[in-house]
């Protein structure tokens, strides 16, 4: 059982660990407090011998966290295709798996660079007609 994407603190996740309620923790980097808090969550999880696979909304961030932890602590990176397509729409080089492998960006910071040309071109972007979101947009 994997859980934790809707738990927002290391203390809430610790309750899941104390209860033996999961085999894998999946905190969401955005919702759990960012990279620093995710690293603290991973440290607590390691005392329970539980792997942490961050929820897949923020792959550019999650791949950095994964690279900073030993493999047993964070063995995989979850990649949500639709969300990452949307979240990385304005990136020069989206962080995507190639043959099942996600390379860690090596640019400064999180390795993300925005594409100013795409931003200018798509300034008035209408997501209601985007193929990924059309099914979920109410008209």
Q: What is the DSSP letter of 3?
A: E
Between 137 and 17, the higher pLDDT residue = 17
CA distance 52 to 76: 8
Would you kindly state where each structural domain of the chain is located, as residue ranges? Answer: 2-136
Q: Domain 2-136 is of which CATH architecture?
A: Alpha-Beta Barrel (3.20)
> How would residue 26 be classed by pLDDT, with cut points 50, 70 and 90?
very high
CA distance 116 to 26: 33
Q: pLDDT at position 107, please?
A: 87
Q: What is the DSSP letter of 129?
A: G
Q: What is the pTM of this model?
A: 0.80
In the annotation, is 55 catalytic?
yes
**pLDDT tens, residue by residue, 48-83:** 999 999 998 888 889 999 999 998 899 999 998 888
Catalytic residue among 6, 55, 107, 130: 55
* Whether residue 16 has pLDDT greater than 90: yes
For helices 34-47 and 59-68, what crossing angle results, to 10°?
A: 40
Region for residue 121 given its phi and psi (left: phi exceeds 0; alpha: psi -120 to 50; beta: otherwise):
alpha
């Amino acid at each position: 059982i994997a859980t934790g994407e809707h738990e927002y603190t290391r203390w809430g996740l610790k309750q899941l660990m104390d209860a033996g309620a999961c085999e894998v923790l999946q905190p969401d980097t955005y919702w759990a407090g960012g990279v620093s808090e995710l690293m603290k969550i991973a440290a607590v999880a390691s005392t329970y011998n539980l792997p942490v696979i961050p929820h897949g909304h923020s792959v550019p961030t999650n791949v950095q966290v994964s690279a900073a932890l030993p493999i047993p602590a964070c063995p995989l990176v979850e990649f949500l295709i639709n969300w990452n397509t949307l979240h990385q729409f304005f990136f020069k080089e989206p962080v995507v798996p190639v043959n099942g492998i996600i390379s860690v960006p090596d640019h400064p910071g999180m390795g993300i660079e925005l594409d100013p040309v795409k931003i200018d071109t798509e300034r008035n972007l209408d997501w209601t007609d985007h193929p990924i979101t059309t099914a979920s947009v109410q008209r």
